[in-house]
Structures are given as C-alpha cells and as structure tokens.
Amino acid sequence: MTGEGKDLTLRQAQQTVDQWVQARGGGYWSVLSNVARLAEEVGEVARVANHLFGEKPKKPEEPPQDLGMELCDVLYTLICLANSQGIDLQDSFERTLEKYRQRDWNRYVRD
C-alpha cells in the first residue's frame, strides 16, 4: 500500500485504502458485511485486552498478540465502511472532536 512509513491524515489513510482496494479490481463489501466484520475485529481487541489485562490468560500455545495491530484492524474496517459510503472521516472526526470539546470539557479531570 502507498503511504507506508509516513504520517497519514485520516483523509490520506482513506485514499491509501481506496487505492489498494481499487488496484485489486474490487469494491467494498456491503454495509452490513462491514459492520459484521467490524464487530469481529472489536471482539479480537477485547480478547487481546482480556489476555493482557484481564482474568483470562492467553493459552501457552497461542501466538503472541499485538493490541496495536488489532486496533488497526478495527481502523481499517472503519475506513472501508466509510469509503463505501463516501464519508470523509477527517471531516467527521474534526466535528466529533469539537462535540467532545464542548460537551465533555471536564470529563477527564482527575481529582
């Protein structure tokens, strides 16, 4: 994929994924298939988090796990979903940050 090794904006990440998908002659999965895939990927994040931080240890025969890679599987799937619907995640994320700045300005204050 293009853009490897560079700091990417969300918009650039979306373009990189789209170029990769299009180069393979494909298209995106349907919305419902991508949402199901997203649920699967989030489940994998939960499994790794439980192994690393919870009460359910990883089985000795299981390969090492990388929480960062699992989180990026979620991000990749979100990008595919957004691309399939023509959603500009950069714009949406900026608007979401503004919403949190206004609504939750004191939510993360520690006593």
- Going along the chain from its start, the domains and CATH numbers come out as 20-103 (1.10.287.1080)
List C-alpha distances in Å: 9 to 20, 79, 89.
17, 12, 10
Residue pair 29/77 in contact by the 8 Å Cβ criterion? no
Of 75, 84, 111, residue with least CA distance to 26 = 84
Residue pair 80/29 in contact by the 8 Å Cβ criterion? yes
Tokens of 55: 């009460």
Of 59, 64, 65, residue with least CA distance to 46 = 65
pLDDT in tens, 53-111: 999 888 889 898 999 999 999 999 999 999 999 999 999 999 999 999 999 888 888 77
For the entire predicted model, the pTM comes to 0.86
